[in-house]
Each structure stands twice: as structure tokens, then as C-alpha cells.
Amino acid sequence: MRDAHPNAIYLKDYQQPDYWIEHTELTFELSDDHTLVTARLDIVRNSQRPASGCLTLQGQELELLSVALDGNELSVGEYQQDDESLTLQGLAERHQLTIRNRIYPQHNTALEGLYQSGNMYCTQCEAEGFRRITYYLDRPDVMSVFTTHVIADGERYPVLLSNGNPVAEQQLPDGRKKSSWHDPHKKPAYLFALVAGDLQVKQDTFTTMSGRQVTLKIFVEPQNIDKTDYALDALKRSMKWDEQSYGREYDLDIFMIVAVDDFNMGAMENKGLNIFNSSCVLANPATATDAAYQRIEAIVAHEYFHNWSGNRVTCRDWFQLSLKEGFTVFRDASFSADMNSATVKRIEDARLMRTVQFAEDAGPMAHPVQPDSFIEISNFYTVTIYEKGSEVVGMQRKILGAEGFRNGADLYFDRHDGQAVTIYDFTKAMEDANGVDLTLFKRWYKQAGTPQIQVSSDYDQARQQLQLTLTQRCPDTPGQSDKLPMWIPVQLGLLDSQGQDMAIQVEPASAWTAASQVLHLTEAEQTFVFHGVTERPVISFLRDFSAPVKVEFEQSRDELLFLLQHDSDGFNRWDAGQRLMLGWINDAMAGQFALDEAAVSVFRALLRDASLDPAMVTYLLSLPSEAYIAEFSADIDPQAIHQARQQVREALAAALTSEMAATYQRLQSDQPYAPQPQQMSARALKNLALGYWASQSAEGLQQAQQQFAAADNMTDQMAALQALIHSGERSLAQHYLDRFYQQWHNDVLVVNQWLSVQAGSAELASVEFVESLLQHEAFDWRNPNKVRAVIGAFAGQALCHFHATDGQGYRLLADAVIRLNGSNPQIAARLLGPLTKWKRLVPQYGGLMKAELQRIMAQPDLSKDVYEVVSKSLV
């Protein structure tokens, strides 16, 4: 709990610590009512710092039992202790410090430090959870070699794990079991992990490129052992991919993954012992959707890739969080693009950026990829640090080219192996490996906000010249105004009247990279002249979403339709379609929407075009989400957006019903289910078609019911259920929801999906209905997945109910935040996101949202997490 006003921490105040910890030996004795921790720390003075002789260790909610220096127990007066630290003075060059303390994992509801999930013990130490285990220099620049002993009842906790390699296992005379682990790689405390439980294991091996055998193990609770195959396969593919794409090999004898049900985030890259939210690792065809499989593949890869981008080379301080997260997201995105469709992956990433990240940039929590300050670091595990951070890495690759980027990455890993470094060490490696100056580019790390590019073009037929004038500006964000121009790589193409790409010659030639077809915009305004342009081209701007920016470019609906049909860049084909549909939705909001036949026939042709990747067609035919539409609106009116989108969806569905039915029939398959890219792609389109079809005809509705009953996999069953919900046939939907629950009530992960489709649905999720879900036997406030499935889905997806005009949706969310503030502050603060955007909504809604924020602010004992988000939102 906080002081009156918790203080911010600033990047500019960074200093190295006065002592290092060379070796850390930990002993855990787990018992039912408490855990005893003994920490033996070999500390040595940091020669770079003045000799203060003073060491302050962080610690929270610890019961200190004893402190000994070089084997001599200190008396209470020989150290200072408060709620958050333990200080020793008058220290010499080297000491061995032994600390004993008690902790209470069974009462740990915050899920930071050591806690219980079901019948097992596990840890979560990033970012600052280790200090809830023992007193320590809990900061990422203190890297230590860890040895860990775990002692517990051998019957109930036969599996005892920690980082590194297993070194000894012993049966103690008192019936307890002791397992010892040693991790030879220096690491910061945030990468420490411990697991104890009665777990089953699925095992395999991987031979690295240098021929070493690595044992791979996935540990799960017994009922989940049939859900481990896919993650294990994804892990092997990730290991291979990192060798091939980055030349990086795994470095221990064993790599372990453990699945736990209670987890605040997706997963954690603890050295050699990744701990996963069970929803991000467990899958079998009957219970997991294709989307879940793809998420698992991406997250397994992400955590594995951290072994180099994060663990071997780590962050100097938490302001550098994007050093590991942005780069690792970039790596997992490239991996997913290679495993599946690169275009589809790019579309998905751009959708996330344009909805969630652009919204964050435009809200009160906007921060640069390298923030200058924070109150609670847990609040900075954001789409800006992760996804925008990844985009910033991706732009460097666009600028340097594939080979130059790889050389930069090699230099970065080799130069900084075993170190804790900064974002600028990364860009410096890119500069040094390529002989380029990225000074200007680095503004992407320091300036928050989404740059906006304005495009105007002028074609001169007589001179066969096209002039393109680009201006950029970046809106003010909290604490930052008057921003400087950024270096924006604009990938671009010019289409001739046949839809073919024209050859490009640009002036100034220095602003053009031919190989990657990139124009370099570096000033506030620049004009580029294209020569030899024999006819008026259709401009395909910002191909492949080459920079995370907003574009204002007037193109006619005919031009958009043309791009939708012909652009060689798949991303821009999709984007043209989205812009077209956004135009329709805006027409509908203005009360003047009519679907034009020309557009309908283009969409019809896309549906029929069997040469296209069905997943791509699925995206081409999906309307922008309400959140996406909101991001392109000046004053957000959520009810108007909802109605306009519904009207357009209805019109499109009506116009395409028979094609949708035909597409559905064409994609029916009797192949046995496999979570394999081609099949997934076909199922995506088949199920999109079912959704449209079932919304229009009794026959389609019939088909949805049949698919629900006959499905041998969750993708088809869930899609059928969703089609039934979206059809608006409420009692029919309820009937199938009940059947679904009966069928799956014993499977926690499936029940969570069941909660989430209901809480996120425009058709069902009135405030009253969501309140009834909160009372359901399947709901549990202590489990973050369930809170996300109900409250998160409601506030993030059922926007027409969350924004109920009487403010009851906001009240429901605020009540949840207040309730969770004490038990799980991280989750409480994360849920707040939707309320923080209040200034962007029309006042009718914004005022009610603000009032709920004020109500939260007035609560006693706000956690740092919630205090930071609410106080910044009310400024």
C-alpha cells in the first residue's frame, strides 16, 4: 500500500549499485503455513563507485529472522530495516551475507514473488517480485550466479524445479525431498524461478547446431498431459529458427516449461524454466481454437527467444524494458510470419497497433518506448513497450536491409553477451555494423505519440512526373510537446492502369532505397519527384505498414477499390478495403449509407477467388472493429459507431449471402483436424462465411447448429456458437451456450472461453447479464484469466454495453478495480485501460467515465499500480 503520494523514479537518476552479488545460494523450505528462505550472498564492492561501505537491499512483506556477516550473526542494532529495505553499513571489499526470512506463499494473492496456484508453488519475479522472496539487490543490472535448493514434502511435491541444470536430489531423513539446481549463467533476480508440485511431464530432446543434446520438458498438472504436444513442437521449431535466423543456440542441458492456472500475464522467460499461463501453452484439438494454437506458437517462441534477447543480454534498468521486449516481439513476429502467412501476420500486428497502441499514445498513459519515469514498473508492460518497440526494431531492419540488420544483431549479441545494457547499446551495434548514423532515428525511442503523415500528390502528364509532398507532425503527449521530425521509412509503390508496379526513379535519389522500395522521410515537410511516370499512377502508400504512423491521404473510392483488387502488396490490399469500409461506416453515421454494386462485385470476386490465401480473404472481408473505427474518429460516440457498423455489416451480409453459403460449402472438409497453417486458413474463411450466412438465413442458422453438434474441434464448435450468438436469436443462442457448458464444465480453459464469448458479445452482455456471470459458479475473482474473460472482454469488446448511457458499465468496471486493488493490484490497474480514454469520448460518456475514476481515486489504500493510472488519467 502506498504513502500519501508514491514517488516517481527517473531514468536520469540511474546509478550503478555500490556492491555486486557474485554468487547467490538460496535454500527454500516449503511447508503448509509458511516458507523459510535462506539466502547466502557473496557480495563484492563495485570499484566504479565511491567506497560507501553501505548496502541497501530491497525486501517487501518479509519476516526477517536473522542476518549474518561472514558467519557472525548480527544483532538488531547492526542493521537498519523498514517496510521496503534492509541496510548494512561499514562494509569492506567482500563479504558473505546470510539472510534468513519467512514468507507466506499461501496468502499471496498478488501473484508476485512465491505463490500457490492450485496445488503447486510457483514464482513470478519480473519486474520486482524477487524482493518478496528475500532481501536482495532487486535490479536487473545486478547479475549473479545462482544455486538453489528446494526442500518440500516428497509425497505432495515430488517435482522441485529451479533455474539451470539439476545437480543433486536427496531424500532427507524426515521424509522431505531436497533438489538442488545450479545455473552457470549470471542473471538478474527477475529471471529467478522455482516450482514445486505433483506434476506430470512430457519430454523430448533437441540437438543444437553444434551437436549438443538438450532435454526439453513440459510440466503440467496430471489432467493436462494430453495438451502438451503442440507447445513442445512449437518449442523445437523456435529453437531451430533462432539458430537459422540469428545464429543463436541454446546454452543449458535442459529447457523446461511449466503451466500454471493463476498467472498475471501470458508467460515468463525465467532462465531455463519458463512459467506459462496455462491458457498460453495448453492445447488439444477438442479444446483449443486455431487462434489459441497460433497464440501458443507465438508465446512459446517469444519466451524461448528471450534466452538471448533478454537473458544472455539483459536490461540495465527498467527504462530499457523495450530493449528486450521490443526486440523479442520483433523476433517472435518474424518467426510467426515464417511459420504462417507473413501478410496475415502483418495485418494482425497493424490492427493491434492501430487500435490498442494508437489509443494508448493518444491517452493519459502515453509514454515513449524508452520512458523517462514511472511510479510502478508493472504498469509499463504495455503495447507501446512491446508492439511499438517491435515496430521500431522493424523500421531499423527496413532502413538497414535484411543483411545489415542481421550483422547488427550479431554484433549486439557478441558485444554484450553477459551484460546488462541500454537501448542505445542496441542502436549503436546497428550503427557500427553498418557504418550508418542513427542519431535522427533514435527519436523514435524518446518521443511518445503517433506521428501523422499528410500526403499530397500532383501528377504532370506532360513531364511524366509525379510530385509527392509529405508532411509529418506528432501530437503533444503528457509532458512532451513540440516534437521533432522522425525518420520514417515509407515503403511505397506506384500502380499503372493495369495494376502493375511501375519502375521508380526518385529525386532526391538519396531519399530512396531501391531494394526495399523505401522512401526516407526525415524532415517536417519534404517533396519527392518521381520521374518517367508515363501515366497517372495509383499510389500504394506505406506498404507493409512500414512505420507505425497515421496517414492522411485522400484517395477516391475508385482508387481504393483498384488497390483492393490489384496491389502487389497484400497488406495494402487489405488496408484499401478497410479504408473503403471505414468510409461506408462514416456514411452510415451521417445517415447516408448505400452499398454500391461496384464494390459488392469486387468483394464477391474476392470470395470466389480460390487462388487467394483463405486467411487473407477472411481479413479482406472483415469489417474494422468498433475499437478500430473509434481510433479513426475525432470525438468517439460508441453507440453511433456500433449502430453504423451493424448497418454496414447487415448490408454486406445481405448482398453476399449466396456467395457466403457457397464459400462455406466449398471449404467444408473431412480431413481430420490438424493445427496446421493451410487448414487453419481454410477454417478461418469457412467460419467467417458461416457467420455472415447464419445472420441472414434460416438455412445458415441450421448449418451453424449442425456444425456445433458435429464439430470434432473447438475452432468449429466455437465459431458455430458465435454465429448463433451473433444471429440475434437469443433463446437459440442460450440453448447452445447451456449445452456447451454442460459439455465442457470440467475444462477450465474452455469454460473461460465460454465466459469470454458471452461477456464480450454485443447481443448478450448487458450490465445485468455480466453481473450474473460474475455470480456464476465458474467465476473466481482470484484467477486473473477469469477476471479477464469476464471484465476484460466486457469492457474491451462489448463496447455498446460497456458504454451504456446510464454509466452502469463504467460502474461495473470501477467496482471490479476497487475490489482487486487490494488483492491483485497489477490486474486491477490493467483493467482500468478502457476508462482512462474518457477525454476522447463525446462528453455525455466522458463525464460519467471521469466520475468513476474520481470514485476510485477517493478510495483509501490505493496500490501504487492503480494510483499511477488513475492519477495520470485525471490530470
Q: Under the rule (CB under 6 A), what is the footprint of ligand 0A1?
A: 124, 126, 264-269, 302-303, 325, 378, 381, 826
* Residue 559 binds which of ligand 0A1, Zn ion, none (CB < 5-8 A, kind-dependent): none
**Please, what is the minimum distance in Å from the beta carbon of residue 554 to ligand 0A1?**
40
* Residue 124 contact, options ligand 0A1, Zn ion, none, Cβ 5-8 Å cut-off depending on partner type: ligand 0A1
Q: How far apart are CA 294 and CA 286, in angstroms?
A: 15
Q: How far is the CB of 298 from Zn ion (least distance, A)?
A: 11
Nearer to Zn ion, 320 or 328 (CB): 328
Choices 24-32, 189-197, 328-336, 436-444 (CB under 5 A): range interacting with Zn ion = 328-336
426 binds, among ligand 0A1, Zn ion, none (CB under 5 to 8 A by kind): none
What does the angle CA 573 – CA 575 – CA 576 come to, to the nearest 5 degrees?
65
Contact of residue 357 among ligand 0A1, Zn ion, none (CB under 5-8 Å per partner type): none
Identity of the residue, 126 or 852, whose beta carbon is nearer to ligand 0A1 in the bound complex: 126
Region of 154-162, 184-192, 323-331, 567-575 interacting with Zn ion (CB under 5 A):
323-331
171, 154 Cβ separation under 8 angstroms: yes
The C-alpha atoms of residue 419 and residue 311 are separated, in whole angstroms, by 9
For Zn ion, the closer of residues 183 and 387 by Cβ is: 387
Nearer to ligand 0A1, 264 or 472 (CB): 264
Q: Indicate if 303 belongs to the active site.
A: yes
Q: Which is nearer to ligand 0A1, 191 or 506 (CB)?
A: 191
Q: How far is the CB of 328 from ligand 0A1 (least distance, A)?
A: 7
622 three-class SS: coil
Q: Are 169 and 179 in contact (CB under 8 A)?
A: yes
Radius of gyration of the chain (CA): 28
To the nearest whole angstrom, how small is the minimum distance from the Cβ of residue 177 to ligand 0A1? 28
Cα–Cα dist 269/760, whole Å: 30
- The answer to whether the CB of 265 falls within 8 A of the CB of 122 is no
Cell of 463: 513531364
- d(Cα 829, Cα 873) in Å, to the nearest integer? 12
**What's phi and psi for 493, nearest 5 deg?**
-140, 155
CB of 305 to Zn ion, least distance (A): 8
Q: Which three cell numbers stand for residue 152?
A: 518440500
**By C-beta, is 149 or 324 nearer to Zn ion?**
324
| Between 328 and 540, CB nearer to Zn ion | 328
Determine which one of 126, 221, 269, 303 is catalytic.
303
* Sheet with 113-117, edge to edge strand ranges: 113-117, 120-124, 194-197, 159-162
Distances (CA, A) of 162 to 18, 25, 150, 218: 28, 12, 8, 14
The listed partner (Zn ion, ligand 0A1, none) that binds 126, CB under 5 to 8 Å by sort, is: ligand 0A1
280, 295 Cβ separation under 8 angstroms: yes
Residue 340 binding target from ligand 0A1, Zn ion, none, CB below 5 to 8 Å by type: none
CA atoms within 13 Å, Cβ hemisphere of 324? 31
Total residues interacting with Zn ion, rule: CB under 5 A: 2
Phi first, then psi, for residue 839 (nearest 5°) are: -70, -20
CB under 5 to 8 A by kind: which of ligand 0A1, Zn ion, none does 631 bind?
none
Segments in 134-225 forming alpha helices (H): none
For the CB of residue 128, give the shortest distance to ligand 0A1 in the complex, in Å: 9
Which residue's CB comes closest to ligand 0A1? 265
* Positive/negative CA dihedral, 530, 531, 532, 535: positive
Q: From the CB of 126, what's the least distance to ligand 0A1, in Å? A: 4
Which listed option, Zn ion, ligand 0A1, none, makes contact with residue 268 (CB within 5 to 8 Å by class)?
ligand 0A1
CB of residue 356 to ligand 0A1, shortest distance in Å: 16
Q: Distance of CA 13 to CAs 9, 126, 241, 318, 443, Å?
A: 8, 21, 39, 12, 21
> Cβ closer to ligand 0A1: 380 or 779?
380
Active site residues: 303
Q: Which residues would be at the binding site for Zn ion (CB under 5 A)?
A: 325, 328
